[in-house]
Amino acid sequence: MSDSTFRVKAVSATAAKTIVKARNFEIIVDEPENLGGTNTAANPVEYVLAAFAGCLNVMGHLIAGEMGFELRGLKIDISGNLNPAKLFGQSYEDRAGYKGISVKLTPDCDADETTLNEWLQTVENRCPVSDNLQNTTPVKVEIGKIAVKA
């Protein structure tokens, strides 16, 4: 298969609120008031977990189909902890992002434990978001041409 490219275009609505477009979909990102936002939407690090949950759902169903059992439903609980000290420039001891992420998948199905363990391992191994969180990904950042004032 050949590579697929995904993209978003975003603009700042305020210092903490962002209007993101992904294809024809609008995604609002904000921060709670204690992190400087207006609390109109989930915040960036919550969207990371939401992306992960969505990916695990897709992979969970795909792999169950490949393995030949029916997944009648799937609950996904994810949590992560981070220290906001680096974000705020108060300390550089801890990393900026999540130090660790915990996932609990609760499948509604009749598969036995051995089957489910194999399922879980395959889901995690082939899930794109899992890969991008657990492994390093090169990020290239550049400054675009600054708008000339009228």
Q: How many CA atoms lie within 13 A of 105 on its CB side?
A: 22
Q: Which residue bears the tokens 């609505």? A: 13
Told to check if 67 binds a second copy by CB under 8 A, we report no
Q: Smallest distance, Å, CB 115 to a second copy?
A: 11
Q: Smallest distance, Å, CB 148 to a second copy?
A: 10
Residues between 109 and 128 with contacts to a second copy, criterion CB under 8 A: 109, 116-117, 120, 124-128
Using CB under 8 A as the criterion, what x/- string covers residues 6-45 for binding a second copy?
A: xxxxxxx--xxxx-x-xx-x-x-xxxx--xxx---xxxxx
Told to check if 70 binds a second copy by CB under 8 A, we report no
Q: Are 76 and 56 in contact (CB under 8 A)?
A: yes
Told to check if 78 binds a second copy by CB under 8 A, we report yes
Q: Which residue bears the tokens 């489910």? A: 116
Q: Apex CA 102: angle with CA 88 and CA 94, to 5°?
A: 30
Q: Smallest distance, Å, CB 72 to a second copy?
A: 9
Q: Smallest distance, Å, CB 105 to a second copy?
A: 6
Which is nearest to 132 in space by CA: 14, 49, 32, 41?
Answer: 49
